[in-house]
Amino acid sequence: MRIAVVGVGHVGLVSAAAFGRWGHDVVGLDDDAAKVATLREGRAWFYEPGLQELLDEVIAAGRLTFTSDPVEAIAGAEVVFACVGTPALPDGSPNLAYLEAVAHTVAEVATGDVLLVEKSTVPASTGRRLEQVIVREQARLGKSHRIEVASNPEFLREGTAVEDTLHPDRVVYGTSSDWARDVLRRVYAPLVAQDGCPVVETDVATSEVIKHASNAFLATRISFINAVARICEQVGADVDVVADGMGHDARIGRSFLSAGLGYGGSCFPKDVDAFAHLARQVGVPFRLLDEVRAINVGQRRLIVDKLRQELWHLDGKTVVLLGAAFKPGTDDLREAPAMYLAEELAAAGADVRIYDPVTSAQVAARLPDVQTHDTVGPALAGAHAAVVCTEWDEVRALTPQDFLNGLAYPIVIDGRNAYDPGVMLAAGLRYHSIGRRSAERQEA
């Protein structure tokens, strides 16, 4: 099939490469000339395990090309996947202007029947809106091709995006006609034949809600366990063991129950806000999600409180943050808890250092007053306290002795429960983590 993918970000580029692997002819379209130039040289413009190899394979097979020219990409395409950004506006609602622009372009340049598929996360009812835009534009331009809108949400995680796309837990698509459903069946037929993954075929609004509800639910699990962690700290329980104990129940499961300094990234924060916004808009406020968000923000404050407990005031103290990316295995700093923490600590007068094995140049560009390091030894040297923000292997590998040798004061605040509290406390560190045994409880 001839497929156009509009927007070559994390979702768009990985999806385009996967479509190529399944034997389709794919053109990636993006108005960012620099990204297109890099991709035309055959190089991924961001890091994602396995992506470069997959690109090498499908580009060599002649199944994937890139352009900034909408006519080249869309004219002749049977399916257009919209993978453009939907960044949050100040009121929490997503900015759908880029998506609307894709609908305009498709109406303008399509040369035959086209299925326009939303892959970007969008509120329910976006499909209907896009259809209105297309009908109006077609009337204005005097065109009459069949252009329908479908929803086909993406569930890939950064760091495992290629694996998640090539071997998904499920494929979900929502359409409003048999024709549209058959187009998407043909897109995914090679995957379903190989992988046998379940397919959920439904209407457009249901598919849109599946995406929102999935991400909101996962974020809720994280905030739930973080709230439980607060209680564990007060009653002397261990949240990791609590999560294990809960997780053995097949109805609950263990995943997304790791307590820590909260979720970040390009999806959860934005999607929780967008779903809460949609709920308010349709007159059924989803207050649970407001609390999910509040707990998440509170986790960062908790780290600052723990630092204050140990260091008294922060003015003039040097604090080293271990990890900046919102999770290991990615170079993405969007909504990374470490970046918020760095700003809060700097505002309180602390000298902030950040160690991250892959993002230190990006961090330096965003936070010019912060000292950045891509090796951990110099980052620790002489600092008054260390805070674990991202559980990179390099961070997990640190021993109590590394902290004792490097830091000026032996204070470690572990925002990702990366170490064993027994070992850290026995070594003489002032060790705090999230919802587990800590220095002051040890004393008590």
- Please identify every residue annotated as catalytic: 267
Report 56-75 residues binding ligand UDX (CB under 6 A).
none
Rounded to a whole number of angstroms, the minimum distance from the CB of residue 243 to ligand UDX is 8
Report 420-439 residues binding ligand UDX (CB under 6 A).
none
Q: How far are the Cα atoms of 315, 323, 349, 385 from residue 395, in angstroms, in the given order?
A: 26, 8, 25, 15
Bridge partner residues of 431 (DSSP): 412
When binding is defined by CB under 6 A, the residue of 187, 222, 227, 278 that contacts ligand UDX is: 222
Q: Which helix (H) or strand (E) holds 355?
A: strand 351-355
Task: Give the whole-angstrom CA distance, residue 305 versus residue 300.
Answer: 9
- ∠ Cα 361 365 370 (to 5°): 85
When binding is defined by CB under 6 A, the residue of 184, 210, 267, 338 that contacts ligand UDX is: 267
Tell me which residue of 210, 86, 76 sits closest to 152, measured CA to CA: 210
| 392 binds ligand UDX per the rule CB under 6 A | no
| 323 binds ligand UDX per the rule CB under 6 A | no
| 155 binds ligand UDX per the rule CB under 6 A | yes
Please identify, among the stretches 136-144, 251-259, 375-383, 422-430, the one whose residues bind ligand UDX according to the rule CB under 6 A.
Answer: 251-259
Rounded to a whole number of angstroms, the minimum distance from the CB of residue 210 to ligand UDX is 11
CB within 8 A of 320, min separation 6: which ones? 352, 353, 354, 355, 379, 380, 383, 385, 386, 387
Q: Report the 10 Å Cβ neighbour count for 431.
A: 26
Task: Give the whole-angstrom CA distance, residue 370 versus residue 413.
Answer: 19
When binding is defined by CB under 6 A, the residue of 327, 353, 373, 384 that contacts ligand UDX is: 327
Please identify, among the stretches 30-38, 144-152, 252-260, 372-380, the one whose residues bind ligand UDX according to the rule CB under 6 A.
Answer: 252-260
7, 266 contact by CB (below 8 A): no
Q: In 113-251, which residue ranges form alpha helices assigned H by DSSP?
A: 126-141, 161-166, 178-195, 204-235, 239-247
| 257 binds ligand UDX per the rule CB under 6 A | yes
Query: Letter for the amino acid at 378?
Result: P
Bridge partner residues of 147 (DSSP): 114
| 256 binds ligand UDX per the rule CB under 6 A | yes
When binding is defined by CB under 6 A, the residue of 220, 258, 318, 359 that contacts ligand UDX is: 258
Please identify, among the stretches 60-68, 150-158, 302-310, 436-444, the one whose residues bind ligand UDX according to the rule CB under 6 A.
Answer: 150-158
The backbone region for 130, taken as left when phi is positive above 0, alpha when psi lies in -120 to 50, beta otherwise, is: alpha
| 326 binds ligand UDX per the rule CB under 6 A | yes
Residue 234 CA from chain centroid, whole number: 31
| 260 binds ligand UDX per the rule CB under 6 A | yes
| 268 binds ligand UDX per the rule CB under 6 A | yes
When binding is defined by CB under 6 A, the residue of 39, 150, 156, 184 that contacts ligand UDX is: 156
| 46 binds ligand UDX per the rule CB under 6 A | no
Beta carbon nearer to ligand UDX, 110 or 257: 257
Q: How far are the Cα atoms of 218, 261, 295 from residue 222, in angstroms, in the given order?
A: 7, 10, 9
| 168 binds ligand UDX per the rule CB under 6 A | no
Six token digits for residue 261? 């300094």
Beta carbon nearer to ligand UDX, 156 or 278: 156
When binding is defined by CB under 6 A, the residue of 20, 92, 174, 264 that contacts ligand UDX is: 264
Beta carbon nearer to ligand UDX, 165 or 372: 165
Query: Letter for the amino acid at 437?
Result: R
Instruction: Enumerate binding residues for ligand UDX (CB under 6 A).
Output: 154-158, 215, 218, 222, 256-258, 260, 263-265, 267-268, 326-327
